[in-house]
Copies of this chain bind each other. A is one copy, B any other.
Amino acid sequence: MNNMQRTHYCGQLTEDIIGQTVTLQGWVQKRRDLGGLIFIDLRDRAGIVQIVFNPDFSKEALEIAESIRSEFVIEVQGKVVEREEKQKNDKLQTGSIEIHVENIKIINEAKTPPFIIEDETDVNEEIRLKYRYLDLRRPQLARVFKMRSDITKTVRNFLDDEGFLEVETPILTKSTPEGARDYLVPSRVNDGEFYALPQSPQLFKQMLMVSGFDRYYQIARCFRDEDLRADRQPEFTQIDMEMSFMSIEDIIELNERLMKKVMKDVKGIDIEIPFDRLPYDEAMARFGSDKPDTRFGMELQDLSEIVKDSSFKVFAGAVESGGQVKAINVIGAADNYSRKDIDALGEFAGRYGAKGLAWLKVDAEGLKGPIAKFFEGETADALINALQAEAGDLLLFVADKKSVVADALGALRLKLAKDLNLIDETQFNFLWVTDWPLFEFSEEDGRYYAAHHPFTMPANVDELESNPSSVKAQAYDLVLNGYELGGGSLRIYKRDIQEKMFKALGFTEEQAREQFGFLLDAFDYGTPPHGGIAFGLDRIVMLLSGSTNLRDTIAFPKTASASDLLTEAPSTVDAAQLTELGISIQSK
């Protein structure tokens, strides 16, 4: 059953080769029978071409074509012919030609697939994932994976040109409880011991800097055993890099050029560099988010000073107890939102902890609404002024402690922009968020955690012990259209600072030694200053391909319960396998 060599991909055929005989191999997208002829749309990776069976070209081929159904794999030979003018199809890349088939061979047959192989599908995602090999035939998905391949190619070539060395780091590595939950792998050889799958190559890439590799990169698989959300997967891919002797400015500049190149090569879009930058505190204050979408305004305005003495106790009380009153101006939206609509917004804000959502509408005469009576005269003018409000605007207020105000108004801002179609979807707004806090305090555990990771260089080392909550990190995140693309930092490269850091995180000396002894030791032997960054490749692909779902960017993704519906992983294993590993299953 030797096949002929394919001469062209279906989707690549053009008018340039009219008159030539071609050999094509592909899948039957659609068959139409018309006046004794058969027309088939033949599909391969590159696209679709129409092939025609006609007794004048070959009776035998026509007869075989009669038995063909959708998704059969066939091979045809035939002549490339220009279509009659009125038959030309502008929507199809190959729409001005067709193939007159002289020979056909059925290479493999196909049952009727459980869903139609087309871009538009309403079949539920479980079925698509179970038959992922059919789902991936949809041209829309195939395009995403072409783009993914193109993005990594551009990244690799860029970093290679910049002198980065690609180095692979281990997947079977050591568990470090600091951070997200690890996936564990029992060791068969070392009784009672476990490997962990890496949450990132962080410490290995730092070791490479100690080794003098100077510039490292890797498209690295990482793992986190967390409860999954729509934009999380148990395994994900990072564009991971680390470099020595470079300042934050150097690192930011290099990565801006990288992103510019990716956007140009993959999307054909010229973006401006340098990107805007926002200190973390300002991002939180103006957008209520550490990854603001800056494609639209509707910024948060702090009105605490204006309302702190007002007779509206909710506002005055919030300020008095150390909180804030902030608002957003939903321009021109006063008439779009009924009282009921606003109640729904209040409920939405409640999910972010807000106890209520106050509102005012603006008309020619001033503020309107149930709480308007509390704000009159100068206070009303000050509010209108601060919010740059005009007749027809809707003003939404949250009064609460600082973090709740930011979360609730930040989320409302995003929701309203989507609802009101305020976002220019063709825009790509890259933004650096800088000057992060080094620590987060967990009220639950009564201790500090590293906001990024424990290896981030503090901006002010002196206050590590005296005033940890004020210490900033030499860290930076890159944000695109409201999504965190990735983040990085300069790293600690002196032993004494790293020891102080572990201490601030509540490690005993022994704990620090046990978990990170090799890192501390490495600092004793000539460690250069270094820093790096890691980007989420899956998310970049999602944003650049306009996908709405991280799963559409991963060839064989897992569901929210971390299952692969195609292979049915995870699965039970033989008892003998567990015995060899020296583990047993416990009821929880």
Which residues in B have their C-beta under 8 angstroms from that of A203? 567
What are the interface flags for A304-319 relative to B under an 8 Å C-beta threshold, 1 for contact and 0 otherwise?
0000000000000000
Interface: A558 (CB within 8 A): yes
Q: State which of A51-59, A178-186, A385-393 sits at the interface with chain B.
A: A178-186
Which residues in B have their C-beta under 8 angstroms from that of A1? 529
* Given known A-B contacts A193-B572, A564-B173, A586-B582, A525 and B145 have beta carbons under 8 A apart: no
Please report the C-alpha to C-alpha distance between residue A572 and residue B192 in the assembled complex, in whole angstroms. 6
Q: Which of B183, B237, B588 contacts A168 (CB under 8 A)?
A: B237
Cβ-defined contact, A586 with B588, below 8 A? no
Q: Which of B207, B494, B584 contacts A584 (CB under 8 A)?
A: B584
Please report the C-alpha to C-alpha distance between residue A43 and residue B113 in the assembled complex, in whole angstroms. 62
Please report the C-alpha to C-alpha distance between residue A111 and residue B190 in the assembled complex, in whole angstroms. 33
Interface: A526 (CB within 8 A): yes
A18: min CB distance to chain B, Å: 24
* Given known A-B contacts A107-B529, A174-B567, A213-B136, A247 and B2 have beta carbons under 8 A apart: yes
Cβ-defined contact, B572 with A235, below 8 A? no
Which residues in B have their C-beta under 8 angstroms from that of A6? 245
Please report the C-alpha to C-alpha distance between residue A522 and residue B73 in the assembled complex, in whole angstroms. 13
A131: min CB distance to chain B, Å: 8
Interface: A204 (CB within 8 A): yes
Cβ-defined contact, B108 with A527, below 8 A? yes
Please, which residue of chain B has its CB at the minimum distance from the CB of A43? B212
Cβ-defined contact, A580 with B181, below 8 A? yes
Q: State which of A149-157, A275-283, A293-301 sits at the interface with chain B.
A: A149-157
Cβ-defined contact, B71 with A172, below 8 A? no
| Residues of chain A at the chain B interface (Cβ within 8 Å) | 1-3, 5-6, 9, 25-27, 43-45, 71-73, 75, 107-111, 113, 131-137, 142, 145-146, 148-149, 152-153, 156, 160, 165-175, 177, 181-197, 203-204, 207-208, 210-214, 221, 223, 225, 234-235, 237, 244-245, 247, 250, 493-494, 518, 521-529, 554-556, 558, 561-564, 566-574, 577-588
For the A-B complex with A189-B562, A196-B573 known, give 5 more contacts whose Cβ atoms are closer than 8 Å: A133-B211, A142-B212, A172-B234, A175-B577, A584-B586
